[in-house]
Chains A and B, each alone.
Chain A
Amino acid sequence: MKDRVRVIDATKYFDKVLALRNVNITVRTGEVVLVIGPSGSGKSTLLRCVNRLENLNKGKIWIDEDEVTKPKADIRKIREEVGMVFQSFNLFPHLTAIQNITLAPHIVKKIPEKQAVEKARALLNRVGLIEKADSYPGQLSGGQQQRVAIARALAMDPRVMLFDEPTSALDPEMIKEVLDVMLDLAREGMTMLVVSHEMGFAKAAANKVIFMDNGEVIESADPETLFNNPHEERTKKFLAHIL
């Protein structure tokens, strides 16, 4: 399998605060890579550098043959091809579910309205929300909003999907419906970089789990090994804390 995302020696500061230190990560095509770690360890920052919502101070990020971090990179093109799902959904409240999904394909990719709607309906079907097409985000539950948000990102046909704690703002009974959608995606071969502490999802879908602390990758392994036989002291401590 080829590498879809390569993060090489990534370092990022916010003023004096070090958010990422020499981070190296690869996500192969079709792989699901899970990132775990305590609050403030740089997980969100890592994801946000991949689609250039933040810029690295040092290091490089590649998606397939394209260098994301080079100064002349077409940032909008990169973002078109990298889907992102946020903890707080960030649906557009003044647009219906289907309008949330069709807007970017229509105005960014210039896909004709009719075609965009057709595709959006297929995506809504896939996340089990076709009957909510004309609902506004305010009329949807958190789990439903997050599923629409996933459909919105998928509508751009991304090469990779980034998930930043997609279920941590949800009531427990809604977590499963979102994870099920993500599991389906994983099975269909979507390349995914996921920040989440959902053990069930990790065991079912992750090819690799990365533990970060203080802006550094402490260790990475397949889920079985990382959860049951971690090498590093810090990993053990963190796992004891969350399990």
Chain B
Amino acid sequence: MAEVKKPKIEITDGALIPGKDSDAVFSAWRISFFGALSLIILLPIITPDPYRRIIAFLPDGILRTFEVTVLSIFFAFFIGLITGLGRISRIKIINRIATIYVEVIRGIPLLVQIFYIYYALGRFLKIPDIASAVIAMAVCYGAYLGEIFRAGIQSIPKGQMEAALALGMSRSQALRRIILPQTIRLVLPPVGNEFIALLKDSSLVSILAVSDLLRRGREFASRTFDYFETYTMVALIYLVITLFLSRLVAIMEERLQKGER
């Protein structure tokens, strides 16, 4: 068999990636995932008060967290794609703008960006809390995804573009038909990891009046003063969700590598 060169890009955000031991019965992932899951189930049974009330109060927040995360990653994906293309553009000014965007955004803490968009933009136009949360997250993560896209595009062998051009395709046809379809496949796992990171960071929007998981927890705790129990539950729920998703990403990555085509 001739060797087909497999382009591959590094996963930059190593958080929560199951390690080599992931197949072992007592792998780190299994212990943490099933441990957290059993606690979520057992605590309300063992100590109904206050855990049962907590567990009944939080689901709205989980939904809101997912809503913010999915909307944000959706927009971040397109911002990232455009930014990635901008970063490899031969047109100087586009290239420069994309680079400045990435540099500036990556240099400002997300929490500051959220405040900034909420209060600064709020002076000129009235936008709903959830919208400003999504804008802030999408703008921030768009920069990170832009770098992933750039790396992905650049890791496609040069011969692909040349073969497309040699057949008479225009650069944009070659990008659309040849380069990007291969890039998307390649970046799906790292984008999945960004999705997980974004889900965790979405807890920051609880400082706006967005009733996500963390905020629901805070509302509950400040009413009942069950701070310890509430935040235990909140943390466990975040943990189970992110561990579950990171497993999905790992499986997807494996599939994509095996079913190479």
Q: Chain A: residues with CB nearer than 8 A to chain B? A: 51, 53, 76-77, 79-80, 82-84, 86, 88-94, 103-104, 107-109, 136-143, 145, 149, 152-153, 156, 169-171
9-residue interface stretch from B132-140, B167-175, B234-242, B247-255: B167-175
Task: Name the contact of A79 in the complex, choosing from B1, B165, B178, B185 (C-beta under 8 A).
Answer: B165
Task: Name the contact of A108 in the complex, choosing from B167, B181, B260, B261 (C-beta under 8 A).
Answer: B167
Contact partners of A82 in chain B: CB under 8 A: 166
Complex-state Cα separation, A103 to B168, whole angstroms: 11
Contact partners of B2 in chain A: CB under 8 A: 89, 140-143, 145, 169-171
Q: Which 6 A-B pairs have the closest CB atoms?
A: A142-B2, A80-B168, A90-B163, A104-B167, A136-B261, A90-B159
Q: Output the nearest chain B residue to A53 by Cβ-Cβ distance.
A: B162
Contact partners of A103 in chain B: CB under 8 A: 167, 177
Contact partners of B164 in chain A: CB under 8 A: 92, 104
Task: Name the contact of A139 in the complex, choosing from B170, B173, B185, B261 (C-beta under 8 A).
Answer: B261
Complex-state Cα separation, A94 to B163, whole angstroms: 14
9 A-B residue pairings within 8 Å (CB atoms): A80-B167, A84-B163, A89-B2, A90-B160, A90-B163, A104-B169, A107-B177, A108-B169, A138-B260
Contact partners of A153 in chain B: CB under 8 A: 166-167
Q: Chain B: residues with CB nearer than 8 A to chain A? A: 1-2, 4, 157, 159-160, 162-170, 173, 177-178, 181-182, 185, 260-261
Task: Name the contact of B261 in the complex, choosing from A138, A142, A156 (C-beta under 8 A).
Answer: A138
Given that A88-B159, A107-B177 are known contacts, is A93 also in contact with B261, CB under 8 Å in the complex?
A: yes
How near does chain A come to B159, taking the closest CB pair, in angstroms? 4
Given that A93-B261, A103-B177, A138-B261 are known contacts, is A76 also in contact with B170, CB under 8 Å in the complex?
A: yes
Contact A86 B173 (CB under 8 A): no
Contact A86 B162 (CB under 8 A): yes
Contact A108 B162 (CB under 8 A): no
Given that A94-B182, A139-B261, A169-B2 are known contacts, is A108 also in contact with B173, CB under 8 Å in the complex?
A: yes
Complex-state Cα separation, A76 to B166, whole angstroms: 8
Q: Output the nearest chain A residue to B170 by Cβ-Cβ distance.
A: A76
**Residue in B160, B166, B170, B185 whose Cβ sees the most chain A Cβ within 10 Å:** B166
Contact partners of A79 in chain B: CB under 8 A: 165-168
Contact partners of A83 in chain B: CB under 8 A: 166
Complex-state Cα separation, A170 to B2, whole angstroms: 8
Contact partners of B1 in chain A: CB under 8 A: 141-142
Given that A94-B185, A107-B177, A108-B173 are known contacts, is A138 also in contact with B167, CB under 8 Å in the complex?
A: no
Contact partners of A143 in chain B: CB under 8 A: 2
Given that A137-B4, A169-B2 are known contacts, is A76 also in contact with B168, CB under 8 Å in the complex?
A: yes
Contact B159 A86 (CB under 8 A): yes
Complex-state Cα separation, A86 to B165, whole angstroms: 13
Q: Output the nearest chain A residue to B259 by Cβ-Cβ distance.
A: A138
Complex-state Cα separation, A6 to B148, whole angstroms: 45
Complex-state Cα separation, A137 to B160, whole angstroms: 13
Complex-state Cα separation, A139 to B4, whole angstroms: 9
Contact B160 A108 (CB under 8 A): no
How near does chain B come to A73, taking the closest CB pair, in angstroms? 13
Contact A156 B4 (CB under 8 A): no
Complex-state Cα separation, A153 to B261, whole angstroms: 21
How near does chain B come to A231, taking the closest CB pair, in angstroms? 35
Contact partners of B168 in chain A: CB under 8 A: 76-77, 79-80, 104, 108-109, 156
Contact partners of B163 in chain A: CB under 8 A: 84, 86, 90-92, 149
Contact A84 B166 (CB under 8 A): yes
How near does chain B come to A181, taking the closest CB pair, in angstroms? 16
Q: Output the nearest chain A residue to B158 by Cβ-Cβ distance.
A: A90
How near does chain B come to A5, taking the closest CB pair, in angstroms? 16
Contact partners of A104 in chain B: CB under 8 A: 164, 167-169
Complex-state Cα separation, A171 to B1, whole angstroms: 9
Complex-state Cα separation, A93 to B261, whole angstroms: 5
Q: Output the nearest chain A residue to B161 by Cβ-Cβ distance.
A: A90
How near does chain A come to B20, taking the closest CB pair, in angstroms? 26
Contact B167 A94 (CB under 8 A): no
Contact partners of A142 in chain B: CB under 8 A: 1-2
Contact partners of A84 in chain B: CB under 8 A: 163, 166
**Residue in B4, B157, B165, B181 whose Cβ sees the most chain A Cβ within 10 Å:** B4
